Amino acid sequence: MSSRGHVHDADYQWMAWLKKCSKMEGTSGACLYREYNDDEQAWLASTYKLRSEQACRWSFCRGSSSMSSADIASARHRYLDRYPLTAEEKCSARYVDALLEIDACQIRVRQCPGSACPGCTEKDRTIASLRAALSDGDILQPEIVDNKVIRSIFHRHFILDGTSGTSRTEVRETIEQAMRQELGPEVSLPSSSPLWSTFMRNTLGTSGTSGGPIRCLRRLHPLTLPAAD
């Protein structure tokens, strides 16, 4: 098969998988896609359950198709490049990454029963959080882990620059998206949260309530987390 034909086939299989999973019934009785766009609490409950318990009707992205991990990553990139938002203007990356995380959990629970339990999911999230905090270079203190995580993500995605200005909304949403990718899709960083205010005050030395831009420049290529030992 030609390279173009392979890409077309991978995209077709990706869309077939995405549509099938999107139609799966969630905890509210509505499909997962509708819960994501219309009912945040039901969406969080459904994704938590699907990460924690074996779902007999789950359709796997790998195994039933000929897609490799590289094919899936490439198809995901092409899909998000074309559809960054859902029809209801919600973040498509958060949605598809949650489904891919469920896919991985459903594989683990079948390979090793009990491996996708809530305790293990929480442990994985804690490890990711600690890795992010340690990457900031300071001595880790449990009571400031959250602020250190936010600070670490900020410095990996932005450069402090007195001649540049980036809107607070863009900075906050970039940090929030990175937190969801690294710590879990249900994580949020609203502008009214104490975490955001603490970050603005302690890291940037400014008030979280004013509306001026942040004197920083977004990196073209964000820095990556250090590899786990």
Query: End of a domain among 100, 115, 130?
Result: 115
89 and 143 part of one domain: no
- Residues 210, 129 share a domain: yes
Does residue 145 lie within any of the structural domains? yes
> Is 100 within 8 Å of 72 (Cβ atoms)?
yes
Phi, psi of 115 (to 5 degrees): -70, -20
Which CA distances in Å does 50 have to 86, 120, 123?
Answer: 21, 14, 17
- Whether 218 and 158 have beta carbons less than 8 Å apart is answered as yes
The answer to whether position 196 is within a domain reads: yes
How many other CB atoms are found less than 10 A from the CB of residue 203? 16
Domain end, chosen from 115, 146, 171, is at 115
Q: What total number of domains does the chain contain?
A: 2
Q: How far is the C-alpha of 68 from the C-alpha of 140, rounded, in Å?
A: 38
Do 97 and 7 fall within a single domain?
yes
Is residue 134 domain-shared with residue 154, that is, in the same domain?
A: yes
Residue 132 in contact with residue 119, Cβ under 8 Å? no
In a domain, 195, yes or no: yes
Domain range for residue 28?
A: 3-115
E strands within the chain?
Answer: 158-160, 216-218
* Contact criterion met (CB below 8 Å) for 93 and 82: no
* Residues 7 and 85 grouped into a single domain: yes
State the pLDDT at residue 28. Answer: 93
Same domain, 139 and 186: yes
If asked whether residues 21 and 46 sit together in one domain, one would say yes
Of the chain, the end-to-end C-alpha distance in Å amounts to: 40
Q: Select from 91, 115, 139 the last residue of a domain.
A: 115
Q: Would residue 59 count as lying in a domain?
A: yes
- Same structural domain, 162 and 102: no
Q: What is the dihedral of CA 107, 66, 83, 41, to 10 degrees?
A: -20
Phi, psi of 217 (to 5 degrees): -125, 130
Q: Can you list the residues of the chain whose pLDDT is less than 50? A: 1-2, 116, 227-229
Q: Are residues 72 and 134 in the same domain?
A: no
54 lies in the same domain as 128: no
In a domain, 111, yes or no: yes
Residues 105 and 183 in one domain: no
Q: 11 is written with which tokens?
A: 């995209």
Q: What is the per-residue pLDDT across 163-191, written as a single tens digit (0 to 9) for each?
A: 888 999 999 999 998 888 777 777 788 88
Strand partners, 193: none
**Residue type at position 227:** A
pLDDT of residue 127: 60
Q: How far apart are CA 227 and CA 229, in angstroms?
A: 6
63 in any annotated domain: yes
Q: Which are the contacts of 97, defined by CB distance < 8 A and separation ≥ 6? A: 180, 181, 185
225 within domain boundaries:
no
DSSP 8-state symbol, 171:
H
Predicted local distance difference test score (pLDDT) of residue 228 = 45
Structural domain includes residue 50: yes
Q: Are residues 207 and 178 in the same domain?
A: yes
Burial of 200 (0-12, 13-18, 19+ CB in 10 A): buried
